Structure 1
Amino acid sequence: MKLLRFGPKGAEKPGLMDADGVIRDLSGVLPDLTSAQLAAGAIARLSDVDPSRLPVVEQPVRYAPVVADIGKLICVGLNYSDHAAESGMAVPAEPVLFTKATSSIIGCNDPVVLPRGSVKSDWEVELGVVIGKRARYVDEANALDYVAGYCVVNDLSEREYQLERGGQWDKGKGCDTFGPVGPWLVTTDEVPDPQNLDMWLEVNGKRYQTGNTRTMVFTVAHLVSYISRFMTLQPGDVISTGTPPGVGLGQKPDPVYLEPGDRMKLGIEGLGEQEQTVHAWNEALIDG
């Protein structure tokens, strides 16, 4: 299934996309797609729903984040060896973990607003892993059993804040609007192998990133197992699994960074596409 949430901020409803690409309203079946609903087995219950009996949603719609109350957005740094090389960093012996603030999370096509004074904001297309049940010290062999589905994430990054302002990466990763998630949560039955998905990103029509999840240093199963050793993963948490090469920081001879008016378009095979317009600092766009 392709599950989604649609509608204006504060009035989102759950939905699904049927086999013909038509959005169907699920609000008569469940109130919203939340962490509690995932924990209570919502995906299994929805497998018995006949999409043709659900109301059709007229498009266009705003796609909201795929889970209403994402509790943690945990990211993995340098998880593609060629991206580590372009960043001038070594391939890590263990996964590098950081978090993005939940205030960074937005719908997949919502405006991206540069923080005040930003001069080095960058893009990163990534595979997102949505946790479906509580995971604590899980074995790698069983780790994918704890996954509800997959989605697209744009792990936007302010490189000056991240790399030149001291401390950890979080300050350059958690800026408001720097975590577009969606458009869909694609359930695991439609993604038999998360390690063989093509992914790409364009800025202003120019292709910068072209990759495949098979070149990850650490697989999805390894990451779920590894992270569960350090923190309990809860239903609705999202793991963003790293990016292939082609980020702005790595462009030669000079880095390329986002500017107001730029348009990003990105996608992952079978998981849909995102498209965002970049704006200068504008608090109304963030809150609206």
Structure 2
Amino acid sequence: MTQPLFTLPSPPLVPITGTDQGYPVQRIFCVGRNYAAHALEMGNEVDREAPFYFNKAPQTLCLSGSSIPYPLETSDCHHEMEFVVALSAPAFRISAAEAMNAVYGYACGIDLTRRDLQSVAKEKRRPWDIGKDFENASIIAPITPKAEFGDIAEQTIRLSVDGRITQEATLADMIWSVPEIIAHLSRFYHLAPGDLIYTGTPAGVGPVLPGNVLLGEIDGLAPLTLTITAAE
């Protein structure tokens, strides 16, 4: 019998509000340009042809309350506040009407982006990975079960940096709804328990600097805090 050469870490666990359990994460999917105002501020046209995605490794997860060093090899790291969906049931080629049956709960999240590296990749028509998929790039607060949160509607999503609001919108402003995203994504992947979906960011993204304290909030969810420290 083949033996492993070394032992890999266990999947990261995200706390669940009101319990001592953790949600094990196996994959992270991210939706691009899902708020019209953000698409426009990035110089992109808004369309409803189809959502598009990029992935982040689960090892990029960072829990709320953390202090992290300013990311490596960038001078323009941006915050992107997001509504995160956690799945707890398989979903494959399902309809939007069925999609919510796969949802376990929701959380506040931040997608950190090395914008300068992403911009270079875009200009050269290369993948975005180096701008998106890096250590501590996927911050997440404790997950609130779906039944406790209720229906996704006009809840406010907001990010403050050092007490100043930089991003603010409502979940109703999303171009693609959560059921639409899950249904569409399930055409390309066998979605499963442990999958997180970061559903896109509102307008107002901007740089973070060492010393900044970030506060992410969505009505009805546990808030998210993050401190940026000096680069290593």
Tell me the TM-score normalised to structure 1 length.
0.71
Runs of 4+ in 1 over 3 A off after TM superposition: 12-16
Equivalent position SS for 1:164 = helix
Secondary structure (helix, strand or coil) at the match of 2:116 reads: helix
Distance 1:260 1:188, change over 3 A: same
User: What do residues 174-214 of structure 1 show as CA deviations (whole Å, max 9, x unaligned)?
Assistant: 111111111x2211112322232211001111110111010
Question: Closer, same or farther in 2 for the Cα pair 1:77/1:13, shift >3 Å?
Answer: closer
Q: Which runs of 5+ in 1 are unaligned?
A: 1-9, 18-23, 27-31, 34-66, 249-256, 283-288
The answer to whether the Cα contact below 8 Å between 2:109 and 2:139 also exists between their aligned partners in 1 is yes
> 2: distance between equivalents of 1:211 and 1:171?
28
1:177 aligned to 2:136? yes
Is 1:114 aligned to 2:114, yes or no?
no
Paired with 2:72 and 2:88, the residues of 1 have a C-alpha distance of 36
User: In percent, how many aligned pairs have the same letter?
Assistant: 29
Gap regions ≥5 residues in structure 2:
1-10
Matched, 1:127 2:127: no
Change (3 A) 1:14 1:113: closer
CA contact (8 A) 1:195 1:220 kept: no
Letter in 2 for 1:118: T
Structure 1 or 2, whichever has the larger Rg, is: 1
1:13–1:149 distance in 2 versus 1, CA, 3 Å? closer
| Counterpart residue identity of residue 141, structure 1 | A
Q: How does 1:5-154 map to 2 (within 5 A)?
A: 16-17=17-18, 26=20, 32-33=21-22, 67=23, 69-92=24-47, 93-154=49-110
1:222-264 alpha-carbon deviations (Å, 9 max, x no partner)? 000000101111101100000111111xxxxxxxx21111111
The one-letter code sitting in structure 1 at the alignment partner of 2:187 is R
Q: Which residue matches 1:258?
A: 208
In the alignment, the residues of structure 2 paired with residue 221 and residue 159 of structure 1 have an alpha-carbon distance, to the nearest angstrom, of: 29
Counterpart position of 1:247? 205
Compare relative contact order (CA 8 Å, sep 6+) and give the higher one, 1 or 2: 2
Deviations 1:77-103 (A, max 9, x none): 100001100111112421120011222
Match of 2:4 in 1: none
Distance 1:96 1:205, change over 3 A: same
The one-letter code of the counterpart of 2:42 is: S
More divergent stretch after superposition (119-128 vs 184-193): 184-193
TM-score w.r.t. length of structure 2: 0.88
Check conservation: 2:14, 2:143, Cα contact below 8 A: no
